[in-house]
Amino acid sequence: MAWWGTLLGGTLGYMFGGPLGALLGAALGRNFDSGLKLNEQQGFTPGDTERVQAAFFTTTFSVMGHVAKADGQVTNDEIASARNIMAQMQLDAAQREAAMKLFNEGKQTDFPLDEVLTQFKHECHRRRNLMQMFIEIQIATVLADKNIHAAEKKLLYYIADVLGFSHQHVEQFFHYAGGQQKSGKSALKEAYALLGVSESDSDDKIKKSYRRLMNQHHPDKLVAKGLPEEMLKLATEKTQQIQKAYDLIKKNRQ
């Protein structure tokens, strides 16, 4: 929670501006928008851990609200999904309040999606794994009401495009987010899909895919790259899903 303490201490206001700073400032009742011109003069550049963590938190919950509203209405399931993610992150009362204010900002018709995504990509400073985790969290929100609306998927494709991911990546991320409830042959099929491989692929290719995905979702590595520590549990669950899928495939092949 170091980034949160820095934020409340007032320092982050001088290293974090632009649309993300404006959103976070509004959620906290402060004005950070002037900080962007000061950040590099004071040595706070894109890629600094606390700055990345603040950007991730702000973008995650504001875009989550925007995605939830994409089909014209925000369902109770989508709100529950947002609150569930907050619970998994074990946010304190002040953080939950800020997250819900960001969620509500994202629902507004004038929400500056392009500007937010552009700054988020800049703040991540080529940390592709972080941006992937962000997209997966947005997909989890869409899946919350068990009804994927065409407008929601179109928006997710657009978000992925801006961040440098293909439509194929988005489909793969849907498997990461949603496919662990089946059993028997369905479970095995989902396991192959989750790893991005097929039953005809060699053991070596499947192992390489498994190792790549585990590396992408490794909680400690993600936190080191700027994932807020509060989201450590979400990353851990991803690695558990990947491990479970790989173990099922190996067992079936023996």
pLDDT tens-digit profile, the chain (254 residues):
466 766 666 555 455 678 988 888 888 876 554 443 334 444 445 457 778 888 888 999 999 999 999 988 888 888 888 888 888 777 888 888 999 999 999 999 999 999 999 999 998 877 888 888 899 889 888 887 777 889 999 999 999 999 999 998 888 888 766 554 444 567 888 888 878 888 888 999 999 988 888 887 777 777 666 666 666 676 777 788 888 888 999 888 87
- Output the pLDDT for position 117: 97
Rounded CA gap, 24 and 246, in Å?
Answer: 39
Contacts of 126 (CB under 8 A, 6+ apart): none
Q: What is the number of H-type helices and E-type strands within the chain?
A: 13, 0
The CA–CA distances, whole Å, from 165 to 114, 162, 221, 243 equal 15, 8, 20, 24
Q: Is 140 exposed, middle or buried (0-12, 13-18, 19+ CB in 10 A)?
A: buried
Query: Would you give the DSSP letter of residue 33?
Result: G
**Where would I find the H helices in 69-92?**
76-88
**For residue 86, which of 103, 104, 68, 99 has the smallest C-alpha distance?**
99
d(Cα 140, Cα 17) in Å, to the nearest integer? 28
What's the confidence (pLDDT) of residue 37? 39
Q: State the first-to-last Cα distance of the chain, in angstroms, to the nearest integer.
A: 44
Predicted local distance difference test score (pLDDT) of residue 35: 43
Cα–Cα dist 135/60, whole Å: 9
Q: At what angle do helices 76-88 and 49-68 cross, to 10 degrees?
A: 160
Give the burial string for 97-128 (b: 16+ CB within 10 Å, else e): ebbbbbbebbbeeebbbeebbebbbebbbebe
pTM above 0.85, yes or no: no
Which residues, other chains included, contact 51 with Cβ-Cβ below 8 Å and sequence gap of 6+?
3, 12, 15, 16, 39, 44, 45, 123
DSSP per residue, 175-216: HHHH--S--HHHHHHHHHHHHT--TTS-HHHHHHHHHHHHHH
How far apart CA 39 and CA 30 sit, in angstroms, is: 17
Q: Which domains does the chain have, with CATH numbers?
A: 2-179 (1.10.3680)
- pLDDT score at 39: 44
- The predicted pLDDT at position 252 comes to 87
pLDDT at 44: 44
